[in-house]
Amino acid sequence: MVSFQRLTRRPEPEGRPSRWVTVAGQVQAGPKKVLIGMALLADEVNSLGHLMLKPDQWAGTLHIEKLEE
């Protein structure tokens, strides 16, 4: 998955804060492990950069919240 993050370019130079975050790693899909890579656009500039997740880290790291308007 390092290849995904190396080849996925963000507009800002490496090491600079950005709204873009790349997330990659393995996910357990039934009996198989699947490699996933995503580029996410955050609401605010942050210094997360590239995240490498283990199969048991996805649910605690990514979740969807419904915001009241």
Give the C-alpha separation, 68 to 58, whole Å: 25
For residue 39, count other CB atoms closer than 10 A to its CB.
14
Q: Is 90 exceeded by the pLDDT of residue 62? A: no
Q: What does the pLDDT read at residue 4?
A: 82
Q: What does the pLDDT read at residue 1?
A: 53
Q: Which of 67, 49, 58 is nearest to 26 (CA)?
A: 58
Give the C-alpha separation, 17 to 11, whole Å: 10
Query: Given pLDDT bands bounded at 50, 70 and 90, which one contains residue 52?
Result: very high
The mean pLDDT of 25-53, rounded to a whole number, is: 91
